[in-house]
Chains A and B, each alone.
Chain A
Amino acid sequence: SQKIEQNSEALNIQEGKTATLTCNYTNYSPAYLQWYRQDPGRGPVFLLLIRENEKEKRKERLKVTFDTTLKQSLFHITASQPADSATYLCALGSGNQFYFGTGTSLTVIP
């Protein structure tokens, strides 16, 4: 069965620093990997999608890498702000199935 692991349940960083979140997966070779943001009491919101043949994808202060050899994706938030505090989820699709990681809770300290 699919297994997706995200690093440490909680990550605390100082404002202005770069946050790096990790997503590792096993038993699968996905063509796409997605990252979502979830705020307390709300549904996830899509942030970025990266394809297997893309090593890196950027959107404003966000950057995602995808290493299919390591079976790992890294999600970076540069110049972090307190408003970036949330839980971040990675997700993989396999046919009609979707698998989400348990998420990493990020707190940006002013």
Chain B
Amino acid sequence: IAGITQAPTSQILAAGRRMTLRCTQDMRHNAMYWYRQDLGLGLRLIHYSNTAGTTGKGEVPDGYSVSRANTDDFPLTLASAVPSQTSVYFCASSPQPGSQETQYFGPGTRLLVL
């Protein structure tokens, strides 16, 4: 069982380019999340999905979009990357939505926008 996989592992991207970060889970979890982690700011929620077909905005959603076409996949798209989006991005999932649920995190994608 792989758990959560993320791709790519790392990426250098020119400002203005479009980029999709991929996230796949094999645990049949209903809820999925995208976070960014920056030094001194910790993990901040970008978008979430409580179940396939639904998505919602987190604390820092601007400049990002997500889709949840099925249970397993939750891609994060940067339509036009900017240097402030340089960060480490983590995808996570939980069996159900809600603050009582354990979140399982992927290994992260390290993104550098120049």
Which A positions have Cβ atoms within 8 angstroms of B? Answer: 4, 30-32, 34, 36, 41-46, 49, 51, 89, 91-103
A92 adjacent to B42 (CB under 8 Å): no
Q: Please, which residues of chain B bring their CB within 8 A of the CB of A98?
A: 33, 45, 48, 58, 99, 103
Q: Please, which residues of chain A bring their CB within 8 A of the CB of B50?
A: 96
Q: Please, which residues of chain B bring their CB within 8 A of the CB of A41?
A: 108
Interface size class of B (residues with CB under 8 A): 20 to 34
Closest to A95 in B: B99
Closest to A45 in B: B105
Please name the 4 residue pairs, one residue from A and one from B, whose CB atoms are nearest each other, closest first.
Answer: A93-B99, A43-B105, A102-B42, A100-B43
CA distance A34 to B99 in the complex (A): 9
Min C-beta distance of B4 to chain A, whole Å: 8
Q: Please, which residues of chain B bring their CB within 8 A of the CB of A101?
A: 42
CA distance A44 to B35 in the complex (A): 11
A46 adjacent to B104 (CB under 8 Å): yes
A30 adjacent to B42 (CB under 8 Å): no
Q: Please, which residues of chain A bring their CB within 8 A of the CB of B45?
A: 97-99
Min C-beta distance of B21 to chain A, whole Å: 14
Most buried by B among A41, A94, A102, A103: A102
Q: Provide a sorted-by-A list of 11 A–B residue pairs whose CB atoms are within 8 angstroms.
A: A32-B100, A43-B106, A43-B107, A89-B43, A91-B103, A93-B100, A96-B48, A98-B45, A99-B45, A100-B35, A102-B42
